[in-house]
Amino acid sequence: MREVAIIGIGMTEFGELWNKSFRELVAEAGIQAILDAGIEGEEIDAMYIGGMSTGRFVGQEHVGSLAVEVAGLEDLHIPATRVEAACASGGVAMHQGYLAVASGMYDIVVVGGAEKMTDVVGREATHILASAADREWEAFFGVTFPGLYALMARYHMHKYGTTQEQLAMVAVKNHYNGSLNPKAQFKRKITVEDVLKSPLVAEPLHLLDCSPITDGAAAAILAPLDLAKKYTDKIVKIKASVQACDTLSLHSRKRFDSLPAAVHAAKKAYEMAGIKPKDVDVAEVHDCFTIAEIIAIEDLGFVEKGQGGKATEEGLTSLDGEIPVNTSGGLKAKGHPVGATGVAQINELVLQLRGEAGKRQVKDAEIGLAHNVGGSGGTCVVHILEAV
Amino acid sequence: MGVARYWREIPARYNLIGKKCQVCGKIYFPPRYVCPKCRRKSIGKMEDYKLNGKGTVESYTIIYTAPPEFEGKTPYAIALIKMDEGCYLTGQIVDCKLEEIHIGMRVEACLRRIQEDGKRGAIYYGYKFRKVES
């Protein structure tokens, strides 16, 4: 297996982008990444694009072919593949791109992720997102996607004494970070009181405990480490890329206070990278709901199981804390265009590791970790990156 | 939804028919084809097993924002229920005040209307859960 590097990144602004179509988003992120990497179109060997439900959000499947057309690469007939794993589609696309380069099959690979969610009305989006859960045995009975995380939240609160205020503090922190990110959907700071006063979506989760509906796309260019030096001196190496799966339904899992797939992926990723959790300088975790970030920092070994709420309250994960988490604003404030999220997390880590994160820069960041989850934990992808 | 998609799940949704692994004895609901513990040895040895319908609330939530097929029914309660046979499932809690629901509450299954396909379409039934007076 060859060592793999990221030589370029690109990302659209995230938000309700009514004036931009799905294909415009794909084009914008891809073009930015190609310009950033300084590669020519004819050097691209393959593409992997994450999209969760493009068929239902914009009535468009066959996204691989669309990406080739958008990129003007049809005469080269390069293979482009759409990858789906619910909200982990982007992370799985990254993993596929990594495997393709590491194996020696391809040299230059474009990884992308895109979702255009605001072309349907809100209630329809709720129905589409529920397809990340088990349609026959969860969604059929009326459980929504926030509902599944609410079940985990209530369980965690009951078992460990995690409070609604501690959940809210995740949103407050991520909105603060989002206020420093020009591409974030929400650049507005909020308070714990704002979260607790916002309408209930699935008790105990309020509206401001939930990530929003977002349009956006992100891309990254991968190359073998040996070849990367030819293109850029701002190389970020992929030290680990691990995907793990679990049951589709929450009720069939071994635990409700943890995502066993995340624990498994993290353990394997730390082994692959030869590091310990405490070596991580900055992390982007899958905070689709505030409880998800609390469970994530426990699953990743940043804190003991059950201590995630307390650690958040004490500022461990703040921008100036020991392990800054979701410096981009996370899914909560940066936005969550489901298929793009996994690749957007990689964008943020690359900015941090290159020292280009502006006002939200973590000082001397050398090792970054991305944790991308599909559904209620049926898929988890962990990437560990290092500045070279 | 095509009617067949609903019809084929009727045994499990009306009568809580799950599966029992004849190798290790573990009971599964919703039905599974392979026992995750015995794997290969369980092939062909997963037999129908009817749950007794009683269980305990492990966690719950009150849904306020619902998908189109449950609009107008909010707020309603959804729970993770540990059945007495050891398996878990997801279902609505009905026939009690939302404030009464708590972790550890004993419940039993009852057959109820779950959703319908518009005003003239099929009505889909299945299990919901109600409180058991202890």
Q: Do B60 and A154 touch (CB under 8 A)?
A: yes
With contacts defined as CB-CB under 8 Å, which chain A residues touch B101? Answer: none
Which residues does chain B have within 8 Å of residue A161's beta carbon, measured at their own beta carbons?
A: none
Q: Has residue A20 got a pLDDT over 90?
A: yes
Provide mean pLDDT across the span A262-283.
98
Residues A110 and A221: beta-carbon distance below 8 Å: yes
Per-residue pLDDT tens digits for A100-144: 999 999 999 999 999 999 999 988 998 899 999 999 999 999 999
For residue A321, being part of any structural domain is answered with yes
Across the interface, whether the CB atoms of A152 and B59 are under 8 A apart is answered: yes
Torsion of CA A79, A83, A88, A92, to 10 degrees: -40
Catalytic residues of A: 87, 336
Q: How far is CA A333 from CA A50, A164, A290, in A?
A: 21, 18, 11
State whether residue B30 sits within 8 Å of chain A by CB: yes
Q: Are residues A333 and A205 in the same domain?
A: yes
What's the alpha-carbon Rg for chain A, to the nearest Å? 19
pTM of this prediction? 0.98
* Model pLDDT, residue A192: 98
How far apart (Å, rounded) are the C-alpha atoms in residues A265 and A135? 25
By Cβ distance, the residue of B68, B91, B114 closest to A123 is: B68
3-state SS class at A158: helix
CA atoms of A346 and A384, how far apart (whole Å): 9
Q: Are residues A186 and A224 both part of a single domain? A: no
Q: Which residues does A384 contact at the CB level (< 8 Å), separation at least 6?
A: A238, A239, A240, A269, A270, A272, A273, A275, A280, A367, A368, A369, A370
Distance (Å, whole) CA A362 – CA A349 = 10
What integer is the mean pLDDT of A230-235? 94
Domain co-membership, A89 together with A18: yes
- Indicate the average pLDDT of chain A: 97
Verify that A354 and A280 share a domain, yes or no: yes
CA angle A85, A221, A55 (to 5 degrees): 35
pLDDT for A123 equals 85
Note which residues in 37-56 of chain B have CB less than 8 A from chain A.
none
Taking residue A65's Cβ as centre, other Cβ atoms within 10 Å add up to 12
Tokens linked to A143: 């459980």
DSSP-assigned beta bridge partners for residue A387: A236
Q: Are residues A267 and A377 in the same domain?
A: yes
* Of A321, A319, A320, A322, nearest in space to A330 by CA: A319
Alpha-carbon Rg for chain B in angstroms: 16
Q: Indicate whether A58 and A188 sit together in one domain.
A: no
Residue A141: list chain B partners with CB under 8 A. 78, 90-92, 114, 126, 128
Element (H, E) at A78: none
Identify the pLDDT of residue A333.
Answer: 98
**Are A247 and A333 found together in one domain?**
yes
Q: Tens digits of per-residue pLDDT, B79-101?
A: 999 999 999 999 999 999 999 99
- Asked if residue A127 belongs to a domain, the reply is no
Q: Could you give the CA distance from residue A161 to residue A163 in angstroms, rounded to a whole number?
A: 6
pLDDT digits (tens, 9 = 90+) for B45-71: 999 999 999 999 999 999 999 988 998
Report the pLDDT value the prediction gives residue B120, as an integer from 0 to 100: 87
| Paired sense of beta strands A282-285 and A367-374, if any | parallel
pLDDT, tens digit, for every residue of A309-328?
A: 999 999 999 999 999 999 99
- The alpha-carbon gap from B134 to the nearest alpha carbon of chain A, in Å, equals 22
Q: What is the ipTM of this complex?
A: 0.97
Pair A179, A188: CB distance under 8 Å? yes
Query: Does residue A159 sit in the same domain as residue A295?
Result: yes
CA distance A344 to A327: 12
Predicted confidence at residue A154, as pLDDT, reads 98
Same structural domain, A290 and A336: yes
Q: How many domains does chain A have?
A: 2
- Angstroms from A144 CA to nearest CA on chain B: 7
Calculate the average pLDDT of chain B: 95
Closest by Cβ to A144, choosing from B59, B65, B73: B65
Residue A249 sits in a domain whose CATH number is 3.40.47.10
Shared domain check, A257 and A229: no
Among residues A380, A363, A362, the alpha carbon closest in space to that of A371 is found at A380
Tens digits of residue pLDDT in A337-380: 999 999 999 999 999 999 999 999 999 999 999 999 999 999 99
Residue B119: the pLDDT is 84
Q: What residues of chain A lie within 8 A of the CB of B64, using their CB? A: 199-203
Using the Cβ of A223 and the Cβ atoms of chain B, whether some distance falls under 8 Å is answered with: no
- The residue range of the domain holding A182 is 137-212+238-387
Q: How confident is the model at residue B10 (pLDDT cuts 50, 70, 90)?
A: very high
Nearest by CB to residue B67, choosing from A123, A152, A153, is A123
Q: CB contact, 8 Å: B134 with chain A?
A: no
- The amino acid present at A305, given as its one-letter code, is K
**CA angle, corner A245, sides to A244 and A251, nearest 5?**
140
Average pLDDT over residues B126-134: 92
pLDDT in tens, A289-303: 999 999 999 999 999
Cα–Cα distance measured from residue A58 to residue B129, given in angstroms and rounded to the nearest whole number: 37
Let me know if residue A131 belongs to a domain. Answer: no
The per-residue pLDDT for A122 is 85
Q: What average pLDDT does the segment A255-265 reach? A: 98
